[in-house]
Amino acid sequence: MPTHKDNTDAASVGEKLDGKMLETSLDHVQSHANGTVATIGGIDPATLHNDEVITQAIQAIGFGRFQWQLTFSCGFGFLVDQMVLVSISLVTPQAAMEFGPRYATLLSASSYAGLLVGALFLGTLADNFGRRLVWQASIFGCSIMTAIAASSPNWAALNVFIALIGLFAGGNLAIDLTLLAEAIPQEWSFILSSLAGIWGFGNAVTGLIAWPLLVNFGCPSGSTPETCSRGDNMGWRYLYITLGGLCLVMSLVRAFVLRSLESPRWLVSCGKMQEAAEVI
């Protein structure tokens, strides 16, 4: 993570942290060695103290280049989430001319169901296996499902893929906020709500991409399955391929360019004090 501009200040923070980490690690071991652990609200006091040490270290480090990179990378989740939702309203009329209008309204329901399940399921995975791994895998999974959705031969397949897209997008969005909140000082917490502005950008990006594709490669308004074949209605499929490609680029940038570290707070909650100290 980034440090203060003054290397001396950074060193003092590190020395202070190391001392506290050593103390809290010993407290943690001793509290469990006795066989009886006094808890506060069901939580080991040593764990509470360890988390306080991490909080003080994050406050001392401040908001630097690493935090800006993490903010930008977490913004990808908001962008992907909005592109997925907006694309449904653009794709539905085009797909209805090809597949028929009977099940058109199910796409939105499938998407929101996926978002809900993803936030709950992937959020639980992140709590158990680490924020960073699930965070990176979620946006990659979203890119793959979005591209595959372009090959849907009917409503049933398209609804399944839309639900899976929502699952990965919803999980990614939930972890975005958690990971960022656990890495920034308290006075910068406003940045979390500021990320919502990216939703507007996602609307614009999706609309600009869809416009030429749906106009030039889609069936004319009023077409029916009898007059609108797959070959004449490739616009919405091209849209999903393009959005899937964008999601893939963002997942690669997140993994290899704007590389993040595991959340120190999650490491503390797992008792991995040495790893948390190394991250700080």
- Tokens encoding 75: 């913004």
Answer yes or no: do 58 and 80 share one domain: no
Q: Is pLDDT larger for residue 264 or for residue 156?
A: 156
Q: How far apart, in whole angstroms, are the C-alpha atoms of residue 99 and residue 124? A: 37
37-46, 77-86, 161-170: range with highest mean pLDDT = 161-170
pLDDT confidence band for 61 (50 / 70 / 90): confident
pLDDT confidence band for 37 (50 / 70 / 90): very low
Q: What is the pLDDT of residue 275?
A: 86
Q: How far apart, in whole angstroms, are the C-alpha atoms of residue 73 and residue 261? A: 12
* pLDDT, tens digit, 9 for 90 and up, residues 89-138: 999 999 999 999 988 889 999 999 999 999 999 989 998 888 888 999 99
Q: What is the pLDDT of residue 47?
A: 52
Q: How far apart, in whole angstroms, are the C-alpha atoms of residue 77 and residue 244? A: 13
Neighbours of 266 (CB within 10 A): 22
Residue 276 lies in a domain: no
Q: Are 145 and 165 in contact (CB under 8 A)?
A: yes
3-state DSSP of 182-223:
CCCCHHHCHHHHHHHHHHHHHHHHHHHHHHHHHHHHCCCCCC
Q: Is 264 helix (H, G, I), strand (E, B) or coil?
A: helix
DSSP state of 43: B
Average pLDDT of the chain, as a whole number: 82
Q: How far apart, in whole angstroms, are the C-alpha atoms of residue 109 and residue 171? A: 17
Residue 67 lies in a domain: no
Residue 262 lies in a domain: no
24-28, 44-48, 232-236: range with highest mean pLDDT = 232-236
With a CB cutoff of 8 Å and minimum separation 6, the contacts of 174 are 118, 119, 122, 123, 126
Residue 266 lies in a domain: no
**Cα 90 from chain centre:** 23
Answer yes or no: do 55 and 80 share one domain: no
Answer yes or no: do 38 and 171 share one domain: no
Q: Does residue 52 surpass a pLDDT of 90? A: no
Answer yes or no: do 14 and 153 share one domain: no
Per-residue CA distances from 64 to 46, 54, 71, 278 (Å) = 29, 17, 11, 18
Answer yes or no: do 57 and 192 share one domain: no
The CATH number of the domain where 191 resides is what? 1.20.1250.20
Residue 127 lies in a domain: yes
Residue 153 lies in a domain: yes
Q: Are 155 and 103 in contact (CB under 8 A)?
A: yes
Residue 209 lies in a domain: yes
Q: How many domains does the chain have?
A: 2
Q: Are 279 and 132 in contact (CB under 8 A)?
A: no
Answer yes or no: do 251 and 114 share one domain: yes
Q: What is the pLDDT of residue 141?
A: 95
Answer yes or no: do 214 and 91 share one domain: yes
Share of the chain above pLDDT 70, in %: 82
* Nearest alpha carbon to residue 264 among 274, 250, 251: 274
Domain interval for residue 25: 7-62
Q: What is the pLDDT of residue 6?
A: 38
Q: What is the pLDDT of residue 13?
A: 41
pLDDT confidence band for 27 (50 / 70 / 90): very low
* pLDDT, tens digit, 9 for 90 and up, residues 17-26: 444 443 444 3
Q: What is the pLDDT of residue 49?
A: 57
User: What is the full DSSP assignment across 64-111?
Assistant: -HHHHHHHHHHHHHHHHHHHHHHHHHHHHHHHHHHH-STTTTHHHHHH
Answer yes or no: do 27 and 88 share one domain: no
Query: Which of 56-70, 76-90, 106-120, 214-228 is the least confident region?
Result: 56-70
